[in-house]
Amino acid sequence: MFRILVADKIGSAGIRRLEEESDVTVDVKTGLPKAELCSLIPTYDALLVRSSTRVDADLLSMAPKLRVIGRAGMGVDNIDVAAATARGILVMNTPGVNSIATAEHTILLMLAAARHTAEAHQSVLQGEWRRSDFIGVQLYRKVLGLIGFGRIARHVARRARTFDMEVIASDPYVSEEVGQEMGITLVDLEELLAQADIISLHASLSDETLHILNTETLAKTKDGVIIINSSRGQLVDEQALANALTSGKVRAAAVDVYNKEPPGTDHPLIGLANVLHTPHLGASTEEAQRDVSIQIVEQVMDALRNEDFRNSVNMPFPAGPEYASVLPYLQLGEKIGVLQFHMADAPIRAIELELSGDTAIEFAKPIATGVLKGVMMNIIADPVNYINAPALAEEHGIGISQTKGLGSSEFANAISCRANWADGNRVIIGSVFDGERPRIVQVGDYHLDVDPSGTLLVMKNSDVPGVIGQVGTLLGDYGVNIGEWRLGRVRKGEDALSFINLDNEPSKAAMTALGKISAVKKLKVIRL
């Protein structure tokens, strides 16, 4: 008999499903203070939460029987996944369940913004009948531009095409073949901005996409464009959008997400007549809430019965005693994937792994999964975990191949990862020192010994005297401390490559100053 504690409110359909199971005892006790939850948790096999209950290391230390934590929703920010993994506790979520609800809300916002729906409604409530003031535009034959082309964007595209809209998308990590299969044209961002009558945001948040719609990019759009954001508030410079709406450059906007939630009354978009607001309602449907509760219940039951472990956040291999030994290799694979993504000269299309050494070969699957997770977590907006990373990579046309036991290496266990793009490739080689310390030992032709953790400044520079001194002094001037500096060069007088571990992240001003050093050719800050 399995005992399950439901600590947050989930859909009643999920509770009923649990109550129907003959091998389950379920207790619904929501809103408990931490002390009370800690006193109850020792007797339970599974814990179901949403976002309210914080599942931290302290709580987990009181749960000797706990095998599964189910999060009814996408994010797991309220769960200490590392602590759960160390204790052999499976953590699951429900990615993608809300995709259709969010896509439908996007279409709703698009229609409402195009036809002044909310403003007209309010006008009628006030006793007015101003039909001529609310002349809208049709979606028919308009060009819809999707920034980002993940799961939700693809649902939006299918629905938009039923309105006879032309759909284009900008996503450097999706192959043209994927777009062709859906009848969607993949274009670069500049072309999308110039062509789209309506722009809808669906990108993941990264350094590259932060404020992807800003004063400069909005100026490149069509006059009278409509902006829709049901993805992430940080994708839009809200003041820049407010200015464009006020000037008439942007006809209208519909916003479901904000840089800061809830937005204050002083928010630049609040009060503008041509902006439609909703309070982060993308996933707020009865069906989505029902489906997410049923899905997490079914996942948890399958996991307790050892039947299936889908949508696990933390298990690329059977949980248990081998966790400690496989973890450094899993981490190394993920770090290599992150480095490959950030150092690639174009979107990655294929990955080749060559493994040498008995231990590396034994852990081939988790290593490959880690590499794919490291690449994919920087590409898509949806949560990426060790379970879904391979499928997401395949979805985006990124293949991976493995060769075991071939090649030679000076290290007992080595992982050689070649990332391929349209007209180039790069090899990164890593190893695990002393069975527990992931290290990067080669990048391209450069031999180094890099600790792939924390804030890493990657620099390529001319091999001339004084560069290290200039960079070190300048970083010091901006209050940035250097932890380690690893430098490699192929031959005297040719370019050198440095990996600099920093104790704190350099400011934009510091990076600008570094870029002005004449010998410096490339700079990149990578967070590992």
Residues identified as active-site: 232, 261, 280
Taking only Cα atoms into account, the Rg of the chain, rounded to an integer number of angstroms, comes to: 26
Angle at 280 between CA 274 and CA 286, to 5 degrees: 120
Q: Which of 463, 430, 426, 420 is nearest to 445 (CA)?
A: 426
**Inter-residue contact 69 to 92 (CB < 8 Å):** yes
Beta strands in 171-215 (DSSP E): 185-186, 198-201
Give the Cα separation of 63 and 89 in Å (integer): 10
What DSSP element (H or E) covers 418?
A: strand 414-421
Show the tokens assigned to 417. 């990862």
| Contact partners, residue 465, CB within 8 Å, separation at least 6 | none
Give the Cα separation of 22 and 4 in Å (integer): 13
What DSSP element (H or E) covers 8?
A: none
Strand arrangement, sheet containing 496-502: 482-489, 496-502, 455-461, 520-527
Give the Cα separation of 336 and 377 in Å (integer): 13
| Contact partners, residue 121, CB within 8 Å, separation at least 6 | none
Burial of 461 (0-12, 13-18, 19+ CB in 10 A): buried
CA 311, 314, 318, 320 dihedral sign is: negative
